[in-house]
Structure 1
Amino acid sequence: MGAQKKAPTRAVSDDPEDLARVPLQAVLLADSFATRFRPITLERPKVLLPLVNIPMIEYTLAWLESAGVEEVFVFCCAHAKQVTNYLENSQWFSQPKFSVTTIESHNSVSAGDALRLVYERNVIHGDFVLISGDTLSNMSLMRALQEHKERKKKDSNAVMTMVIQRSKPSPITQQSRLGTDGLFVAIDPTTKQLLHYEENTNHLKGTFSIDKMLLVDNTSITLHNDIQDCYIDICSPEVLSLFTDNFDYQHLRRHFLKGLLVDDIMGYKIFTHEIHSSYAARVDNYRGYDTISKDIIQRWTYPLVPDVLSLGNSATKLERRGMYRASEIGQSRSAQIGPLTVIGTGTTIASNTKITNSVVGKGCAIGSNVLIEGSYVWDNVIIEDGCELRHAIVCDGVTMKSGSVLKPGVVLSFKVVIGQNFVVPPYSKVSLLQQPTKQDSDEELEYADNNSDTLDSAATGTMDKLNGDSSLEFSEMQHHVSSELGYGGVGYIWSICEGSHEEEWRHSVAPIPAEKLAEITQVIEDDLELVSQDSNAPASSGELKPDSQINAEDDAVYFEKEVEATFLRAVNENVEVDHVILEVNSLRLSYNMQSADCAGAIFHSMMKLALDTTHSTHNELLRNVQNTVNTWQKLLKSYLPGKDEEIEVILKFEEICLESARELSPLFTQILHLLYDKDIITEEAIEDWESEKKDADEADRVFVKQAEIFLQWLREAPEEDDEEDDE
């Protein structure tokens, strides 16, 4: 029996509606029933893994409380004791209006098993929220709940409302999509009923078939390959009984959802609720872990951000350019902490060490001349002098001896020791536990162990043996520690399964290889082929309509934000310009934008970077702009094929100076002159811009007047050149 907390008492009311009211409940699945986070999840449950130094389950519980949920039932199987102990000692067992109860199982191997057990406990008494403990969101539940309840009043078969969102970012910048299966869905645009749901293992391109009867029974259908399943469901109690009646239902989507969609006898219906401006994502793989961590640091998930979710630890302070630093850290004056970086409390950083675009946990000891780039270093890690980490995950208690190197994509599980000067190959997974010789037959099965204590003691025993067990012969110890991880190393490098070598990049926290990026971009350019089962179906049977719910203005806003995020990542990670161009091209195709839109978004990102770089005077700001333009002019010029696009950049510059960055207004003329000197904006474009403003209102001619001397100089300069030629 899991640890429980008594539900909060409520005032008695004579109102019949209040008497009939049941508290809003949620079922939180603490098991993902997947193996994608091995070897880490052999020793710790996924929901307790730190996401920007905070356990994943904290984000989920914080959102449920803020969304008005009053009772949460946390189902846990793998490492159930760890989950229960954590919750018993957390803030959630002392909230006055928020009840958390754990339900333990030691033989459930799927979400279906979990929900059948919840049904047997008879704890759910009304509509409830079903969510995975690795899901992070800041959406409001009110509207989705209201829609679900209203539908249920009209149609008792409306048993589920599934939260979805449009994948506005492309498969390049929203890199978490590359680690999961593609998704094709069909939705009735009028009722929002889900009509078809199909996962596609071809992550870049594919086809799917729909039953022609869908066209017969529905007047219109929208087909999507740009929908993201948020794995947040509002369910009626009947959902639990359906799992109990159908023991074939194991996976929530693959079995249950698809089973209901094809069941013509019972007639149960599933509907969708699309969110637009809110955030929702699931940490489904290592790439998703990396992407969502960056989203948190860049505050897309507010208020679920490090300086708000302190968990009673030392306060974490947000500094300039997305840097978070906890109190009580020791940092050498010569150490450099870059933007989009989080440093946990009690961590020490020695001289000449550089940390950028990374998360470092609490109690870490980082030596001199260390380079940490795009990595996640958890708690109590020791990194000795001269080490290098690029795009890696390093779990609690790891020791990296001096000079050791982690290549991109490496995952070091708990308490591993990397030997002196040893280089861990790309995409390697290293653990104190040997790789299981027998793989699980069910690919969705998380390590649902009954022996987590045995595993923990096995790992600890390995360390104890190598740290001083006198019964271990020196020659035997030396052979063990130097065979796989260099001299002094402790642990095993897991072999990559046959046939998985080509896919390692897709699930990794490492950047996408350039050749794969080019391949993806090429595929995006091709239209997705949508094939009906019967191409000869009569026209009257249905109509396929493009979805146009999101207007062009919203697209432009999202597009500009995505270009800015791409540009900022390129700056922080020293991405080559050609690589950035590929990413921006992918965004342009995804949003159906023109070159002028790309140029405007890139120029806006460049000016924002100059503003965010330290300055105290206009001269220093102008110098920042000059440095930024010098560095990124090739990128900007790539989207200026002609005069019209150049004029759009000038107009965008005016907009920036008037709205988002008024600090640049006094420098308008100098920056325009700079763009002219760098051959980014031509004289013809500037003259046409001036002509377009000739009959405009005075308010629209502010910057034309400001640039009068420069414009006059442009008009006279050719004459002076001609005179010199005559002489």
Structure 2
Amino acid sequence: MAVKKGGKAVDVADDETPVPLQAILLADSFAQKFRPITLERPKVLLPLINIPMIDYTLEWLASAGVEEVFVFCCAHAKQITDYLGNSSWQTQPNFKVVPIESHDCVSAGEALRLIDERNVVRGDFILVSGDTVSNMSLKEVLQEHKERRKSDKLAVMTIVVKRSHASPVTHQTRLGNDELLLVIDPLTKELLHYDDGLLNNPNKARQVAVDRSLYLNKPSICLCTDLQDCYIDICSPEVLLLFTDNFDYQHLRRDFVKGILSDEISGNKIFTYELHGEYASRIDNLRSYDSVSKDIIHRWTYPIVPDIRFAGNNVGLKIERCNVYRENGVMLPRSARIGPSSVLGQGTSVDENCVISNSVIGRNCVIGRNVTIEGSYLWDNVTIHDNVTIQSAVICDGCVVRAGARVEPGTVLSFHVVIGQNFSVPSYSKISLIAQPTEEDSSDEELEYVEATSVTTESPQKLLEGEQQLTDITGSSPQMERNPPTVAWKESEVGPSGAGFKWFMRDESQEEEWRYSVAPIPAEKIEEMRLREEQAGVDDFDQDAGAVAEEEEEELDSVKKKRDFEREAEETFRRLFLDGVPEANVILEVKALRLGFNVEGSDCAAACFKSIINLALEEPFTKDSELFIIAKRLFSKWKAILRNYLTTEDDQVEVLLKFEEICSEPAGKAFAPIFCPVLRVLYDQELIFEDAILSWASEKQDAEEGDKIFLRQCEAFIKWLEEASEEDDDDDDDDDA
């Protein structure tokens, strides 16, 4: 085991002081997918079935045997540290939660470099984000990682993956993640290639080029597009050192993983561990937020489910038929209908004739008469007036939706937004009390809410119902000025007496908004994608067919060209052998032929060799021994001209392959029984050298049995060459000594 001491990695014996199992939990996701919500509250504190996301991750780590967790937080660090400081995690036995704050990290790479500077990690550790929900046991993957490390110190990381088929239409998983291509060695589980989102990028071809070096020395490789990255990593301490040594490593996958896989010099390796029957998912976007919420409600995450207590969240909760959960203090009339897969938070009141299904309602919400809520998420202290319809939306704390309003699928209402009476919020709208930053003020795509770090919302803004006024304004950001209390909201965006700014999606992201929403993918989008996929398939087929036809045509041209060259070259050599044409003239003619047909030097060697073989076959013989004597004589006579074309090892190997080809054809099968004796003649005449023969033999080792006929015939000769080579090496060593 390696630990850091004085900035360097040192080995510590396993029998020394035991090191507690540690984890690094990244409370920042360094992305923007939950905006505008995360401008006011960090994602890890957003409610997931009425419990902050980070509690799911901590609950799992505690149950899996982790003893010490370092929670790295940057944006909204005070909110996170205050929450952890006031939670029961601080008093949990055998489980220590240590916040690490930074106010200038803008990537996961910078976070890990800072942790490395703190010198707090003392052994192998778990690397996970604070938006991870899992019930997996860490025992097996840790054991596998440690056993691998004993035999291979370059095995620096094991990443957890699971089967998760992508849609054949959208090429996305149910979590909203793009289809992932992994290349894995099935024998060792080593990760050889990692490509996220390539197959879903319309600007790239659907064909994927796999580097030939990945499979050259491996019996087999697996190309997987049905695996999901769980973003749970078992890391050696060297991972932190690698981030410190490589300042261009920012993103965990795009930079670090791909950097390790492409770095042939260091030799570091990453391996995979596939989950079977256990649950692990990361909430990366609103679609995965919806999917994971449903998985929790349907109890796929057991024992981490709503009716089993989390530390510090002990409110009474009952589970009823069809996965309906109710906390204590819910007021529910007989006329209200609560459909399957729904959760009602403590202190919430529901009025007459309401219909709620597949939805999570937070705590202390007020829902009026004749309200329909389907597939939506209402957080705490939300007020819904009479005759409102809400479909597949996310409505944050303190929002008010006035009577008769309609919230269309995919809508996100950030904290304390007010929707006016009878106003219809268009699909995929995002509305916030914080104005959308200008493009110039917008941060890099890697940042989730770093520019809002100076905005504190310990006491959230409260909207005086019926008045266009904000009170209790607690802070501001240089990039995003909060609005004065008398701001006039646009009625076209939030309706009469509404409050909020509508965020407009950039042109390049507006079309893709449906991919990452809690709303089901619209039928017209599915049909559009299906037609596009069909067309892409036709185009790919046409391109492939054209490419195959072109390739076949080129191959036929190449074969024809070689055959024509061989015929012309053989005829030229025959004039030398039989008609006495001067050798210099023949060499010039063959050189001109080579240039004219654009062939390799090895083709000249093969043509000359075949000419001599054909010459031998034309002489009368009745026995193998007679043919051997003829061939030996001819090779001795014409060795000077043949040697002229056997200048490299490749040329010599090509001649041996040509000899095999001749012996396998009907016209030259008479040479098959004397292949090895002729090879010895070529060796004795110094036409074919030892290295070429051994290279040829090495190439044939992995061939099919039917292609090893002549190799087996030469086994004794090859063994003699190998032993002679070893003796020469020993003599050289003695001379050096």
When normalised by structure 2's length, the TM-score is 0.66
Residue 165 (structure 1) aligns with: 162
* 1:510 and 2:511 aligned: no
State the match for 1:600 in structure 2.
none
Task: Find the counterpart in structure 1 of residue 494 from structure 2.
Answer: 485
Distance 1:170 1:232 in 2: 23
Paired residue secondary structure (2:322): helix
Please state whether the residue corresponding to 2:143 is helix, strand or coil. Answer: helix
- Residue by residue over 1:324-362, the C-alpha shift from the partner in whole angstroms, topping out at 9 and shown as x without a partner, is 011111111111111110000100000011101100000
Distance 1:132 1:174, change over 3 A: farther
Deviation at 1:234, TM superposition (A): 0.2
Indicate if the aligned counterparts of 2:170 and 2:200 stay in contact, CA closer than 8 A. no
> Which residue of 441, 445, 448 maps to 1:446?
448
User: What's 2:359 paired with?
Assistant: 358
Q: Equivalent residue for 1:153?
A: 150
Instruction: Supply the distance in 2 between the matched residues of 1:444 and 1:509 (Cα, whole angstroms).
Output: 22
Specify the alignment match of 1:218 in structure 2: 218
What is the SS of the residue equivalent to 1:484? Answer: helix
- Partners in 1 of 2:227 and 2:156 — Cα distance? 21
Deviations 1:604-659 (A, max 9, x none): xxxxxxxxxxxxxxxxxxxxxxxxxxxxxxxxxxxxxxxxxxxxxxxxxxxxxxxx
Q: Distance in 2 between matches of 1:500 and 1:134?
A: 23
Once the two structures are superposed, what CA deviation does each residue of 1:674-705 show, in whole Å capped at 9, x if it has no partner? xxxxxxxxxxxxxxxxxxxxxxxxxxxxxxxx
Distance 1:489 1:456, change over 3 A: farther
CA distance in 1, matches of 2:125, 2:216: 33
What's the counterpart of residue 209 of structure 1? 209
3-state SS in 1 of match to 2:519? coil
Shift of the 464–387 alpha-carbon distance from structure 1 to 2, 3 Å rule, reads: closer
Distance in 2 separating the partners of 1:77 and 1:54: 21
Residue 216 of structure 1 aligns with an amino acid whose one-letter code is: L
Give me the identity figure in percent: 57
For 1:468 and 1:265, locate their aligned partners in 2 and report how far apart those are by CA, in whole Å.
59
1:348 corresponds to:
349
Tell me the SS of whatever aligns to 1:184. Answer: strand
- Cα distance, 1:461–1:118 mapped onto 2, change above 3 Å: farther
Q: Distance in 2 between matches of 1:265 and 1:413?
A: 49
Shift of 1:447: 1.0
CA spacing shift, 1:450–1:214, aligned 2, 3 Å: same
- Structure 1 letter corresponding to 2:257: L
CA distance in 1, matches of 2:451, 2:233: 27
**For structure 1, which segment, 433-442 or 112-121, has the greater mean C-alpha deviation from structure 2 after superposition?**
433-442
Deviations 1:293-339 (A, max 9, x none): 11111111111111013543321111001100111111111111111
Equivalent-residue separation in structure 1 for 2:405 and 2:528 (angstroms)? 33
Deviation at 1:453, TM superposition (A): 3.1
* Change over 3 Å in CA distance of 1:154–1:362 after alignment to 2: same
Q: Any idea what the Cα deviations from partners look like across 1:516-556, whole Å, max 9, x if unmatched?
A: 3245557888699999xx999xxxxxxxxxxxxxxxxxxxx
- Aligned in 2, Cα 1:463/1:151: closer, same or farther, shift over 3 Å? farther
Partner letter of residue 496 of structure 1?
M
Q: Number of residues paired by the alignment?
A: 514
Match of 2:123?
Answer: 126
Q: Using CA pairs below 8 Å that are at least 6 residues apart, which structure has the higher relative contact order? A: 1
Letter in 2 for 1:466: Q
Would the alpha carbon gap of residues 524 and 95 (structure 1) be closer, same or farther in structure 2, given more than 3 Å must change? farther
Alignment of 1:77-88 (within 5 A): 77-88=74-85
2:20 aligned with 1:23: yes
Query: CA offsets, 1:433-476, max 9 Å, x none?
Result: 0001035453221111464435778956999983488xxxxxx9
Matched, 1:144 2:141: yes
Find the residue that maps to 2:112 and give its secondary structure: helix
Q: 1:392-403, aligned counterparts within 5 Å?
A: 392-403=393-404
Where has structure 1 moved over 4 Å in runs of 4 or more? 168-178, 454-465, 476-479, 519-531
- Give the corresponding residue for 1:560: none
Partner of 2:318 in structure 1?
Answer: 317
Compared CA separation, residues 106 and 477, structure 1 to 2 (3 A): closer
- Correspondence for 1:416: 417
**1:487, 1:112 → 2: CA distance?**
46
Report the residue type matching 1:515 in the other structure: E
CA deviations over 1:47-93 (Å, ceiling 9, x no partner)? 00011111110110011011110000000001000000010111210
Name 1:327's counterpart in structure 2. 328
Offset of residue 227 of structure 1: 1.0
Of 229-238 and 296-305, the range deviating more from structure 2: 296-305
Question: Partner residue of 1:307?
Answer: 307
1:31 match: secondary structure: coil
Letter in 2 for 1:509: V
Aligned counterparts of 1:292 and 1:390: Cα–Cα separation in 2: 18
In structure 2, the residue matched to 1:386 is 387
> Aligned residue for 1:238?
238
Over the residues paired in the alignment, what is the CA RMSD in angstroms?
2.9
Q: Report the AA paired with residue 111 of structure 1.
A: A
Letter in 2 for 1:380: N
SS in 2 for 1:499: helix
Q: Post-superposition shift, 1:19?
A: 3.6
Residue 370 of structure 1 and its aligned partner are, at CA, apart by 0.5
Q: 1:490 offset after TM fit, Å?
A: 0.6
**Aligned counterparts of 1:433 and 1:456: Cα–Cα separation in 2:** 16
Give the corresponding residue for 2:49. 52
Instruction: Please state how far the C-alpha of 1:182 moved relative to its aligned partner.
Output: 2.4
AA aligned to 2:30 is: F
- Separation in structure 2 between the aligned mates of residue 468 and residue 72 of structure 1, nearest angstrom: 39
Shift of 1:498: 1.1
Contact persistence 1:204–1:520 (CA under 8 A)? no
Q: Secondary structure at the match of 1:372?
A: strand
Counterpart residue identity of residue 430, structure 1: I
8 A Cα contact 2:179 2:200, kept in partner: yes
**Match for residue 586 of structure 1?**
none
**Range 169-178 or range 77-86, more displaced:** 169-178
Q: Which residue of structure 2 aligns with residue 573 of structure 1?
A: none
Using the TM superposition, give the Cα deviation of residue 514 of structure 1 relative to its aligned residue in structure 2, in angstroms.
1.0
User: Would the alpha carbon gap of residues 461 and 417 (structure 1) be closer, same or farther in structure 2, given more than 3 Å must change?
Assistant: closer
State the match for 1:191 in structure 2: 188
Q: Distance in 2 between matches of 1:523 and 1:366?
A: 42
1:411–1:163 CA distance, 2 compared to 1 (3 A): same
For residue 87 of structure 2, what is the amino acid of its counterpart? S
CA 1:200–1:385: 2 relative to 1, 3 Å? same
CA distance, structure 2, for counterparts of residue 267 and residue 360 of structure 1: 51
TM-score of the pair, normalised by structure 1? 0.67
2:399–2:413 contact (8 Å) kept in structure 1 = yes
CA distance in 2, matches of 1:454, 1:314: 28
Question: What is the CA–CA distance in structure 2 between the aligned matches of 1:342 and 1:77, rounded to whole Å?
Answer: 32
**What residue number does 1:76 align with?**
73
Tell me how far apart the structure 2 counterparts of residues 279 and 468 of structure 1 sit (CA, whole Å): 43
Q: Which amino acid aligns with 1:305?
A: V
Match of 2:494, SS state, is coil
Change in CA separation of 1:203 and 1:174 when aligned onto 2, cut-off 3 Å: closer
Kept after mapping to 1: 8 A contact 2:416/2:463: no
Measured in 2, the distance between the counterparts of 1:47 and 1:271 equals 28
Conserved in 1, the CA contact under 8 Å of 2:468 and 2:487? no
User: How many Å separate the matches in 1 of 2:302 and 2:531?
Assistant: 35
Summarize the Cα distance change of 1:334–1:414 in structure 2 as closer, same or farther, 3 Å threshold.
same
Deviation string 1:18-40 (CA, Å, 9 cap, x unpaired) is: 64320100000000000000000
Q: Give the match's secondary structure for 1:103.
A: strand
